Protein backbone atom coordinates (compact mmCIF):
# COMPACT_ATOMS: atom_id res chain seq x y z
CA UNK A 1 0.00 0.00 0.00
CA UNK A 2 1.37 3.42 -0.90
CA UNK A 3 1.92 5.46 2.26
CA UNK A 4 0.00 8.48 1.00
CA UNK A 5 -2.69 7.77 -1.58
CA UNK A 6 -5.42 10.05 -2.84
CA UNK A 7 -7.16 11.96 -0.08
CA UNK A 8 -10.92 11.74 0.16
CA UNK A 9 -11.43 14.74 2.44
CA UNK A 10 -10.02 16.64 5.37
CA UNK A 11 -10.44 16.75 9.12
CA UNK A 12 -9.60 19.38 11.68
CA UNK A 13 -6.08 19.21 13.08
CA UNK A 14 -7.70 19.05 16.53
CA UNK A 15 -8.87 15.54 15.73
CA UNK A 16 -5.30 14.29 15.37
CA UNK A 17 -3.23 17.04 16.95
CA UNK A 18 -0.97 18.06 14.09
CA UNK A 19 -1.59 19.22 10.52
CA UNK A 20 1.99 18.83 9.27
CA UNK A 21 4.18 15.77 9.19
CA UNK A 22 6.76 15.57 11.96
CA UNK A 23 10.19 14.07 12.53
CA UNK A 24 12.88 14.25 15.20
CA UNK A 25 15.14 17.31 15.37
CA UNK A 26 18.31 15.22 15.62
CA UNK A 27 19.60 11.73 16.25
CA UNK A 28 19.72 10.08 19.67
CA UNK A 29 20.73 6.60 20.83
CA UNK A 30 20.32 4.19 23.72
CA UNK A 31 21.45 0.69 24.65
CA UNK A 32 19.41 -2.05 26.26
CA UNK A 33 18.49 -5.73 26.30
CA UNK A 34 16.00 -7.54 24.10
CA UNK A 35 13.13 -8.95 26.16
CA UNK A 36 12.86 -12.18 24.21
CA UNK A 37 16.31 -12.56 22.63
CA UNK A 38 18.24 -11.51 25.72
CA UNK A 39 20.72 -9.80 23.38
CA UNK A 40 22.31 -6.43 24.10
CA UNK A 41 21.21 -3.95 21.43
CA UNK A 42 22.12 -0.39 20.54
CA UNK A 43 19.23 1.59 19.07
CA UNK A 44 19.48 4.95 17.32
CA UNK A 45 16.59 7.19 16.31
CA UNK A 46 17.30 9.49 13.36
CA UNK A 47 15.32 12.21 11.55
CA UNK A 48 13.83 11.23 8.21
CA UNK A 49 12.38 13.24 5.30
CA UNK A 50 8.67 13.81 4.67
CA UNK A 51 6.73 10.79 3.39
CA UNK A 52 9.49 8.46 4.60
CA UNK A 53 7.45 6.77 7.28
CA UNK A 54 9.00 4.72 10.08
CA UNK A 55 11.72 2.35 8.92
CA UNK A 56 13.88 -0.07 10.90
CA UNK A 57 17.43 -0.70 9.67
CA UNK A 58 19.49 -3.61 10.98
CA UNK A 59 23.17 -2.67 11.04
CA UNK A 60 24.30 -6.24 11.73
CA UNK A 61 23.10 -7.67 8.40
CA UNK A 62 24.13 -6.86 4.79
CA UNK A 63 22.83 -3.46 3.65
CA UNK A 64 20.73 -4.99 0.86
CA UNK A 65 18.73 -6.95 3.46
CA UNK A 66 18.76 -4.45 6.31
CA UNK A 67 15.60 -2.36 5.90
CA UNK A 68 12.33 -3.44 7.48
CA UNK A 69 9.30 -1.12 7.11
CA UNK A 70 7.19 -0.52 10.20
CA UNK A 71 3.98 -1.56 8.50
CA UNK A 72 1.10 -3.95 9.13
CA UNK A 73 1.85 -6.08 6.07
CA UNK A 74 5.37 -6.74 7.37
CA UNK A 75 4.20 -8.24 10.67
CA UNK A 76 5.58 -11.78 10.70
CA UNK A 77 5.04 -12.95 14.28
CA UNK A 78 2.76 -11.88 17.12
CA UNK A 79 3.74 -14.32 19.88
CA UNK A 80 4.12 -12.18 23.01
CA UNK A 81 5.22 -9.16 20.93
CA UNK A 82 4.98 -7.70 17.43
CA UNK A 83 7.78 -8.79 15.11
CA UNK A 84 8.38 -7.30 11.67
CA UNK A 85 10.20 -8.95 8.77
CA UNK A 86 11.17 -8.12 5.20
CA UNK A 87 11.27 -10.33 2.11
CA UNK A 88 14.86 -11.35 2.90
CA UNK A 89 13.90 -12.78 6.27
CA UNK A 90 15.44 -9.95 8.31
CA UNK A 91 13.40 -9.51 11.48
CA UNK A 92 12.95 -6.80 14.10
CA UNK A 93 11.11 -7.87 17.24
CA UNK A 94 9.24 -6.11 20.06
CA UNK A 95 8.61 -2.94 18.05
CA UNK A 96 5.30 -1.99 19.69
CA UNK A 97 6.51 0.17 22.61
CA UNK A 98 8.83 2.29 20.47
CA UNK A 99 6.25 2.67 17.70
CA UNK A 100 3.64 3.62 20.32
CA UNK A 101 5.93 6.39 21.60
CA UNK A 102 6.40 7.71 18.05
CA UNK A 103 2.63 7.59 17.56
CA UNK A 104 2.01 9.34 20.85
CA UNK A 105 4.22 12.25 19.79
CA UNK A 106 2.91 12.40 16.24
CA UNK A 107 6.25 11.39 14.68
CA UNK A 108 5.49 10.36 11.11
CA UNK A 109 9.02 9.95 9.77
CA UNK A 110 11.89 8.25 11.57
CA UNK A 111 14.78 5.95 10.73
CA UNK A 112 15.45 3.45 13.50
CA UNK A 113 18.88 1.82 13.40
CA UNK A 114 19.71 -1.15 15.60
CA UNK A 115 22.53 -3.68 15.73
CA UNK A 116 20.45 -6.65 16.83
CA UNK A 117 17.21 -8.52 16.18
CA UNK A 118 15.01 -6.79 18.71
CA UNK A 119 14.17 -3.34 20.03
CA UNK A 120 15.51 -3.14 23.62
CA UNK A 121 12.82 -3.59 26.23
CA UNK A 122 14.24 -0.89 28.57
CA UNK A 123 11.89 -0.81 31.60
CA UNK A 124 9.02 -2.60 29.84
CA UNK A 125 7.11 0.57 29.01
CA UNK A 126 7.29 3.31 26.39
CA UNK A 127 8.60 5.92 28.84
CA UNK A 128 12.32 5.49 27.97
CA UNK A 129 11.51 6.08 24.29
CA UNK A 130 9.38 9.09 25.24
CA UNK A 131 12.42 10.40 27.12
CA UNK A 132 14.58 10.05 23.99
CA UNK A 133 12.01 11.88 21.87
CA UNK A 134 11.68 14.67 24.41
CA UNK A 135 15.48 15.02 24.67
CA UNK A 136 15.89 15.88 20.98
CA UNK A 137 12.46 17.36 20.28
CA UNK A 138 10.17 17.08 17.29
CA UNK A 139 9.91 19.44 14.31
CA UNK A 140 7.24 19.96 11.68
CA UNK A 141 7.98 19.29 8.03
CA UNK A 142 6.79 21.00 4.87
CA UNK A 143 4.23 18.34 4.02
CA UNK A 144 0.60 17.81 5.06
CA UNK A 145 -0.22 15.06 7.52
CA UNK A 146 -2.78 12.48 6.50
CA UNK A 147 -4.90 10.12 8.53
CA UNK A 148 -6.60 6.84 7.77
CA UNK A 149 -10.30 7.60 8.16
CA UNK A 150 -12.45 4.63 9.16
CA UNK A 151 -15.62 4.57 7.03
CA UNK A 152 -17.46 1.60 8.50
CA UNK A 153 -17.20 -0.83 11.41
CA UNK A 154 -14.56 -3.53 11.00
CA UNK A 155 -14.23 -6.45 13.41
CA UNK A 156 -11.83 -9.31 13.95
CA UNK A 157 -12.18 -12.12 16.47
CA UNK A 158 -14.98 -14.00 18.21
CA UNK A 159 -17.28 -13.51 21.20
CA UNK A 160 -14.49 -13.96 23.77
CA UNK A 161 -11.62 -12.14 22.06
CA UNK A 162 -12.18 -9.40 19.53
CA UNK A 163 -11.06 -6.00 18.26
CA UNK A 164 -13.04 -3.41 16.31
CA UNK A 165 -12.53 -0.15 14.45
CA UNK A 166 -15.44 2.20 13.85
CA UNK A 167 -16.00 5.68 12.36
CA UNK A 168 -15.49 8.59 14.77
CA UNK A 169 -14.74 12.29 14.63
CA UNK A 170 -11.45 11.91 16.49
CA UNK A 171 -9.09 9.20 17.66
CA UNK A 172 -10.24 7.20 20.67
CA UNK A 173 -9.26 3.85 22.09
CA UNK A 174 -10.81 1.56 24.67
CA UNK A 175 -9.83 -1.83 26.03
CA UNK A 176 -11.19 -4.44 28.39
CA UNK A 177 -9.25 -7.31 29.96
CA UNK A 178 -10.62 -10.15 32.06
CA UNK A 179 -8.21 -12.56 33.75
CA UNK A 180 -9.00 -15.35 36.19
CA UNK A 181 -6.09 -14.16 38.31
CA UNK A 182 -7.46 -11.90 41.06
CA UNK A 183 -4.50 -9.49 40.92
CA UNK A 184 -5.32 -8.53 37.33
CA UNK A 185 -9.03 -9.46 37.23
CA UNK A 186 -11.25 -7.30 35.03
CA UNK A 187 -10.16 -3.82 33.97
CA UNK A 188 -11.48 -1.39 31.40
CA UNK A 189 -10.26 1.99 30.17
CA UNK A 190 -11.28 4.45 27.45
CA UNK A 191 -9.18 7.40 26.24
CA UNK A 192 -9.28 10.07 23.58
CA UNK A 193 -5.82 10.43 22.05
CA UNK A 194 -5.12 14.15 22.18
CA UNK A 195 -1.95 16.11 22.89
CA UNK A 196 -0.42 14.80 26.11
CA UNK A 197 -2.78 11.86 26.62
CA UNK A 198 -0.25 9.21 25.66
CA UNK A 199 2.47 10.74 27.84
CA UNK A 200 0.26 11.12 30.88
CA UNK A 201 -1.94 8.03 30.70
CA UNK A 202 -0.10 5.24 28.88
CA UNK A 203 3.65 5.76 28.43
CA UNK A 204 4.67 4.49 31.90
CA UNK A 205 2.54 1.32 31.85
CA UNK A 206 4.78 -1.76 31.78
CA UNK A 207 4.41 -5.13 30.13
CA UNK A 208 3.30 -7.90 32.48
CA UNK A 209 3.32 -11.65 32.80
CA UNK A 210 2.79 -14.55 35.18
CA UNK A 211 5.61 -16.28 37.06
CA UNK A 212 4.34 -19.76 36.19
CA UNK A 213 4.65 -18.98 32.46
CA UNK A 214 8.31 -17.92 32.53
CA UNK A 215 9.89 -21.36 32.08
CA UNK A 216 7.48 -22.27 29.28
CA UNK A 217 8.27 -19.02 27.46
CA UNK A 218 12.00 -19.62 27.76
CA UNK A 219 11.62 -23.11 26.34
CA UNK A 220 9.93 -21.42 23.36
CA UNK A 221 12.93 -19.12 22.99
CA UNK A 222 11.07 -16.14 24.49
CA UNK A 223 11.54 -13.93 27.57
CA UNK A 224 15.29 -14.68 27.80
CA UNK A 225 15.94 -11.07 28.76
CA UNK A 226 12.94 -10.70 31.03
CA UNK A 227 13.35 -9.63 34.65
CA UNK A 228 11.66 -7.62 37.37
CA UNK A 229 13.46 -4.60 35.93
CA UNK A 230 11.49 -4.72 32.69
CA UNK A 231 8.16 -6.39 33.44
CA UNK A 232 5.49 -6.63 36.09
CA UNK A 233 5.49 -10.26 37.24
CA UNK A 234 2.48 -11.78 38.99
CA UNK A 235 2.75 -14.85 41.22
CA UNK A 236 -0.64 -16.21 42.23
CA UNK A 237 -2.09 -13.51 44.49
CA UNK A 238 0.76 -10.98 44.58
CA UNK A 239 3.04 -8.81 42.48
CA UNK A 240 6.71 -9.72 42.76
CA UNK A 241 8.06 -6.28 41.85
CA UNK A 242 9.18 -4.53 45.03
CA UNK A 243 7.93 -1.12 43.86
CA UNK A 244 4.45 -2.42 43.01
CA UNK A 245 2.31 -0.89 40.27
CA UNK A 246 2.63 2.51 38.62
CA UNK A 247 -1.15 2.71 38.13
CA UNK A 248 -3.91 0.75 39.90
CA UNK A 249 -4.99 -0.39 36.41
CA UNK A 250 -1.52 -0.63 34.87
CA UNK A 251 -2.40 -3.90 33.14
CA UNK A 252 -5.15 -2.53 30.91
CA UNK A 253 -3.13 0.63 30.32
CA UNK A 254 -0.31 -1.46 28.92
CA UNK A 255 -2.70 -3.32 26.64
CA UNK A 256 -3.81 0.08 25.30
CA UNK A 257 -0.17 1.10 24.87
CA UNK A 258 0.45 -2.05 22.82
CA UNK A 259 -2.62 -1.31 20.71
CA UNK A 260 -1.42 2.23 19.98
CA UNK A 261 1.86 0.81 18.68
CA UNK A 262 0.26 -2.01 16.70
CA UNK A 263 -2.28 0.32 15.08
CA UNK A 264 0.36 2.88 14.06
CA UNK A 265 1.71 0.17 11.77
CA UNK A 266 -1.24 1.14 9.56
CA UNK A 267 1.13 3.70 8.04
CA UNK A 268 -0.38 6.78 9.65
CA UNK A 269 -2.69 7.90 12.43
CA UNK A 270 -6.15 6.35 12.46
CA UNK A 271 -9.20 8.60 12.61
CA UNK A 272 -11.70 6.35 14.30
CA UNK A 273 -12.58 4.43 17.44
CA UNK A 274 -10.68 1.29 18.45
CA UNK A 275 -12.03 -1.17 21.00
CA UNK A 276 -10.25 -4.29 22.16
CA UNK A 277 -11.82 -7.01 24.29
CA UNK A 278 -9.30 -9.54 25.58
CA UNK A 279 -7.34 -8.89 22.40
CA UNK A 280 -3.59 -8.88 21.74
CA UNK A 281 -0.95 -8.34 19.09
CA UNK A 282 -2.36 -11.03 16.79
CA UNK A 283 -5.89 -9.60 16.75
CA UNK A 284 -4.58 -6.05 16.40
CA UNK A 285 -2.71 -7.03 13.25
CA UNK A 286 -5.57 -9.14 11.91
CA UNK A 287 -7.84 -6.14 12.38
CA UNK A 288 -5.58 -3.99 10.18
CA UNK A 289 -5.44 -6.72 7.55
CA UNK A 290 -9.23 -6.89 7.51
CA UNK A 291 -9.46 -3.10 7.35
CA UNK A 292 -7.18 -2.78 4.31
CA UNK A 293 -8.64 -5.82 2.54
CA UNK A 294 -11.57 -3.68 1.37
CA UNK A 295 -11.19 -0.10 0.13
CA UNK A 296 -14.75 0.62 1.26
CA UNK A 297 -13.59 0.37 4.87
CA UNK A 298 -11.26 3.38 4.84
CA UNK A 299 -9.74 6.31 2.99
CA UNK A 300 -6.81 8.70 3.32
CA UNK A 301 -7.87 12.11 4.57
CA UNK A 302 -5.86 15.30 5.03
CA UNK A 303 -5.56 16.80 8.51
CA UNK A 304 -6.44 20.48 8.14
CA UNK A 305 -5.58 23.38 10.45
CA UNK A 306 -8.20 25.68 8.97
CA UNK A 307 -11.15 24.85 11.20
CA UNK A 308 -11.29 24.38 14.97
CA UNK A 309 -14.50 22.36 14.76
CA UNK A 310 -14.40 18.60 14.62
CA UNK A 311 -16.36 16.91 11.89
CA UNK A 312 -19.23 14.79 13.18
CA UNK A 313 -20.04 12.86 10.03
CA UNK A 314 -19.69 9.14 10.45
CA UNK A 315 -19.51 9.19 14.24
CA UNK A 316 -20.31 5.91 15.96
CA UNK A 317 -20.84 5.48 19.70
CA UNK A 318 -19.15 2.67 21.60
CA UNK A 319 -22.56 1.12 22.15
CA UNK A 320 -23.10 1.03 18.39
CA UNK A 321 -19.69 -0.55 17.88
CA UNK A 322 -20.43 -3.26 20.43
CA UNK A 323 -23.85 -3.92 18.88
CA UNK A 324 -22.25 -4.28 15.47
CA UNK A 325 -19.73 -6.75 16.88
Q: Any idea which residues carry the catalytic annotation?
A: 281
Are the C-beta atoms of residues 154 and 31 closer than 8 Å to each other?
no
**Which residues are registered as beta bridge partners of 163?**
156, 276
CA–CA distance, 281 with 101 (Å, rounded to integer): 16
Residue 105: name the closest of 127, 83, 124 by CA. 127
CA–CA distance, 65 with 63 (Å, rounded to integer): 5
Count of CB atoms within 10 A of residue 83's CB?
A: 23
CA–CA distance, 71 with 53 (Å, rounded to integer): 9
Beta carbons within 8 Å of 104's beta carbon, 6+ residues apart: 126, 130, 193, 197, 198, 199, 202, 203, 260
- DSSP 8-state assignment for residue 207: P
CA–CA distance, 35 with 116 (Å, rounded to integer): 12
Amino acid sequence: MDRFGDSGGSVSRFAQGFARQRTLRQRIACTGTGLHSGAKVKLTLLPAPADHGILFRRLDVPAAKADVPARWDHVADTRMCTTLANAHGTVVGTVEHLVAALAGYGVDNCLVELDGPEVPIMDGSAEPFVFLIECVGVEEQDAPRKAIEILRVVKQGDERHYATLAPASGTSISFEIDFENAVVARQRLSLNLRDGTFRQELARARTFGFAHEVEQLRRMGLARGGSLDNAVVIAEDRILNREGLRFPDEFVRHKLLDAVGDLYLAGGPILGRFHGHRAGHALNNQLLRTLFANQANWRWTTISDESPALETRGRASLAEVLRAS
